[in-house]
Amino acid sequence: MPGEPQRTEPAEELDDLLALVDGRATRSTLTALRSSVQDYWRRDNAHGGATLRPAVVGHLRYVGRLLDSAEGGLRHDLQGVAAELARLSGWAYFDARQYSTARTYFTQALKLSHMQGDSLFMANVLSCMSLLATYDGNPNDAVALACRAQDAARAAGEQPLVMSMLYLREAFAHATLRDAQACHQAVDRSRDQYERSRGYEAEEPFWVHYFDETKLLVDTGIAYARLGEPARAEPLITEGLRRENADQQRGRAFHAYWLASAQLQLGKLDEACTSAGLALDLTAAIDSPRVSGHVQELHRRMLPYAREAPVLAFEQRMRDALG
């Protein structure tokens, strides 16, 4: 009809049909997809996962269509890319605090890696599901998922760096349960496995390479902060923040929050507000509802000190940054 705007984008059904025209995968397609996945993870760490969701989920659908016509080894490799995109989709929804949708994508990733017989990647997905359960108020499930992930990793052979990461996921869950003995045991095992990993760098999967000595320090500190042992947590997180790259904005915001949390537990109000201010500044530059939710939670915990000058200054910065 006259006056109606013309469509400039194809309908979703037409978009799917057009994709079928060039929808046959090649080895070059596979290389490009793997490069895209790595770029998505880099952007997620720098800017948060919320704005990546449409692109990642769209890429996952695209790979699903390619799988319909792929055969043999190429099909197997594409399933691996689909599993990683499903895990990345789950992570993006987790970062957006949409836990039920995140669980759906993690389950899809688990099924795809099971079809491949890739027990090591299954361990990776189970570790994400463990962290999700910790956040979603199900720490007993988180413990069970972390332990199951460890069993899956053992089935894949000697992978000490993977095991180090998995033991810390278990420690997070025990800390949430306030089981100090189990938490400390998991932390000790994580540290032992990390020391063993130093001779295995070339053999570890690429998705665990983020878990370096700095991440070990910070995550150990976070486990102690969750457990209610802030005196142990503070120096570890402080050192981790000092070492971290400036472009790891989402991670630094998250770690600054945990540093502020530990300092608040210790009664160091000035330091806690300074660390919270760093978390706030970084949060304003990323799109991560999970991190901004942490900052708002920290503000609520500061309410008993609402008349103190550092808290008043932090509240003003928070209003300016978050509205």
Per-residue tokens: 56:
């990642």
Contact (Cβ atoms closer than 8 angstroms) between residue 277 and residue 317: yes
**Helical (H) or strand (E) element with 13:** helix 12-21
Distance CA 111, CA 125 (A): 10
Contact (Cβ atoms closer than 8 angstroms) between residue 192 and residue 240: no
pLDDT at position 7 is: 42
User: Residue 50's closest CA among 292, 291, 294, 289?
Assistant: 289
Per-residue tokens: 278:
């760093």
User: Residue 173's closest CA among 144, 146, 145, 139?
Assistant: 139
Between 12 and 70, the more confident residue is 70
Between 111 and 50, the more confident residue is 111
Q: Where does the pLDDT of residue 22 fall: very low under 50, low under 70, confident under 90, or very high at 90 and above?
A: low
Q: What is the pLDDT of residues 265-318, one digit of tens each?
A: 999 999 999 999 999 888 888 888 898 899 889 999 999 999 999 999 998 888
Q: Where does the pLDDT of residue 83 fall: very low under 50, low under 70, confident under 90, or very high at 90 and above?
A: very high
Query: Which residues neighbour 319 within 8 Å (Cβ) at sequence distance 6 or greater?
Result: none
What percent of the chain clears pLDDT 90, i.e. is strictly above it? 65
Q: What is the pLDDT of residues 270-285, one digit of tens each?
A: 999 999 999 988 888 8
Contact (Cβ atoms closer than 8 angstroms) between residue 128 and residue 106: yes
Q: Where does the pLDDT of residue 230 fall: very low under 50, low under 70, confident under 90, or very high at 90 and above?
A: very high
